[in-house]
Amino acid sequence: MNAPYAKVYVIDGKGHLLGRLASVVAKLLLNGQKVVVVRCEEMNVSGSFFRNKIKLQNYLRKRCLSNPSRGPFHFRAPSRIFYRALRGMIPHKTSRGEAALGRLKVFEGVPPPYDKMKRMVIPRALRAINLKPGRKFTTLGRMSTEVGWKYQDVVANLEKKRKVRSQAFYERKKAIANIRAKAIGVKEAELAPIKEQLVQFGY
């Protein structure tokens, strides 16, 4: 992905396919870009819920036989499931890969200060574009809930409050824009001679 450099990319995970998004984010991280992925619980995985649940349970059975505390460690939270998928696309045991993972942040919901920052989507990873209509898919949050993630209600309540605040901010912003447009319209006649002079000076 030939993306321009930005201070930080804030990506909204809702409606993205997990693997496709992970591959794009991995490349950005390896290129030195800081990336924040929010709303990981709303990511999608292709295939039916039942099929994906069986695959996840099969993964959960894998452990060190002599000492299970050695790993592998089975993350339950949607953000950590995405993190682990992405980690497999990065040489995480090298210093370069470790530095790349250090530039990544993943969250359920949209915590501050990212709730007031412009969020972007990755078109090449969107489910609506990449998955044929009618194909089955499941949500990462639902899968996580089935295997022991306990914070789905907490995240849902926080998201509900955030959306109310965002709507209030948007309405206030629209009202200020309308007042400004009316003020410009009222003063248009008075500013006309000044604008003509500015045009003469090349402005």
> For 54-99, how does the pLDDT look when each residue is reduced to its tens digit (9 = 90+)?
999 999 999 999 999 998 899 999 999 999 999 999 999 999 999 9
Strands 9-12 and 35-38: parallel
Residue 95 pLDDT: 97
Residue 4 pLDDT: 78
Residue 1 pLDDT: 63
Ranges of H-type helices in the chain: 18-30, 49-60, 78-87, 95-102, 127-130, 140-146, 152-186, 188-200
Residue 159 pLDDT: 95
Residues (pLDDT < 70) of the chain are 1-2
Residue 108 pLDDT: 96
What is the pTM (predicted TM-score) of this model? Answer: 0.86
Place of tokens 């969250």: 107
